[in-house]
Amino acid sequence: MKDIAYYNGRLSPIEDMMVPMNDRACYFGDGVYDATGVLNHVPLALDEHIDRLYDSARQVEIRVSMEKQELRRILMNMVSLVDDPAQILYMQITRGVGMRNHLYRYAGEKASVWAFAAPHAFTDVYDSYRVITREDTRFFHCQIKTINLLPSVMAAQAAEEQGCAECIFHRQGRVTECAHSNVHILKAGTLITAPLDNLILPGITRKHILAHCRILGIPVEERPYTLQELMGADEVFFSSSSAFTCRVREVDGIPVGMKDGATFGRIRDAYQEEVRREAGPDALRT
């Protein structure tokens, strides 16, 4: 198959999948999601993404009747049915179906489970990228991976229109994260990244990068840092499950970083090797 979608027990090509108008995703964005890359038909860090999905649902009081292992079985079957070995795997849980009303009790008795798998071109981690910045005007629960993504959509569009790969958010000068990734800096051989508070998503790739740094003996500081620190960093890079580690060479038209390629390269290569161990030695050549 070219691609595949799932909704509450039904499977079909994405373009043929129909969902009820009264699913609360349509009116309120009342749901949570997660996503990961797939290489050689292997979803990367799948169990961690499922755990984060269910934790996001818990934080917004969505009760999920489907067991994690059942969702895992469905997702693994889906990626096996898509012809292309390089895919994006998306999963979503909404509060359910019911007449439009803000109150939970009108949401029906069962959460809705959505998913799709489709071909995906992964970002070249050996290139470097231009980004822009924007004031972070999102809400104060960014640790929950909700489907309320309009500010990120607008920021990503602004970046695209300026020929850039990402948009870095900041709140009154404090760097938080990007439109759809985490962002980190290197200074004097130390990796500095925003702490896991309510202003950033706890990225799976972020977690793995920090683990690799500790194994490699690269010091890590999880602390708030400023846009000024970012502009003066030795290296700037962003990370996600579909982009891996992407080096930044320019922010808002100003050259940045590109001064400690050796340390960045060690982090990038360690993560790439982890991907090869999980998905196979030829995974990154798909």
CA distance readout (Å), 221 to 29, 99, 264: 34, 47, 15
Mean pLDDT of 80-105: 95
What are the tens digits of pLDDT across the range 61-73? 999 999 999 999 9
CA dist 267 and 209 (Å) reads 7
Please give the domain boundaries of the chain with CATH numbers for all domains.
4-119 (3.30.470.10), 128-279 (3.20.10.10)
The answer for residues whose C-beta is within 8 angstroms of residue 207's C-beta and 6 or more apart is: 48
| Joined tokens for residue 111 | 């959460």
Name the residue type at position 177: E
Residue 125 pLDDT > 70: yes
Residue 104: closest CA among 41, 169, 5, 31: 31
3-state SS assignment for residue 41? coil
CB atoms within 10 A of CB 263: 19
Report pLDDT digits (tens) over 218-242. Answer: 999 999 999 999 999 999 999 999 8
* pLDDT for residue 285: 63
CB-CB contact of 119 with 84 (8 Å): yes
pLDDT in tens, 18-46: 999 999 999 999 999 999 999 999 999 99
Tell me the pLDDT of the chain averaged across its residues. 96
Distance (Å, whole) CA 185 – CA 170: 14
State yes or no: pLDDT of 286 exceeds 70.
Answer: no
- What pTM was computed for the model? 0.95
Identity at 28, one-letter amino acid code = F
Task: Report the pLDDT value the prediction gives residue 204, as an integer from 0 to 100.
Answer: 97
